[in-house]
Amino acid sequence: MVRILVRLFFLLWALPNTLIGLTVGFVGLLTGGKVQVREGCLEFYGGVVEKWLERLNVFGMTLGHTILGQTSNGLRIVRKHEQVHVRQYERWGPLFLPMYLGWSAFLWWRGEDYYRLNPFEIEAYDIDDPSKRNHDTDEFDQQ
């Protein structure tokens, strides 16, 4: 019972961000996209979601308990990394987006890499860096 209540708390705490992801995902579905359920999250891909992420030059993005991806295969590649962001949303709740964007703005203002030096990305890349994996087997390259 306690586990269910804790899980419910995390779902509600991240809900404002999840609603943003559901809205984007729904628009993706209306434009030919698809949805799948993986590791407790709804993953949307294709349609306008794919086009939007291409313009942002990213394979995936997390909004609460929704993960947006260009393609199903792209989601497979970035899933572990994006799941780190899901846990961050559970930790920070509605504060996550302002904190993430605030760090990025501060780093950009200092002339630094506003993406890779963002503490939220540092944590996610420390746990899973998709660029260091062999995507055919999902094993890490031996370099």
pLDDT in tens, 36-90: 999 999 999 999 999 999 999 999 999 999 999 999 999 999 999 999 999 999 9
Whole-model pTM: value is: 0.89
pLDDT of residue 91: 96
Structure tokens at 65: 């308990």
**Tally of CB atoms within 10 A around 66:** 25
What is the number of other CB atoms lying within 10 angstroms of the CB of residue 60? 23
* Cα–Cα distance for residue pair 79/74, rounded to 1 Å: 8
22 pLDDT band, cuts 50/70/90, is: very high
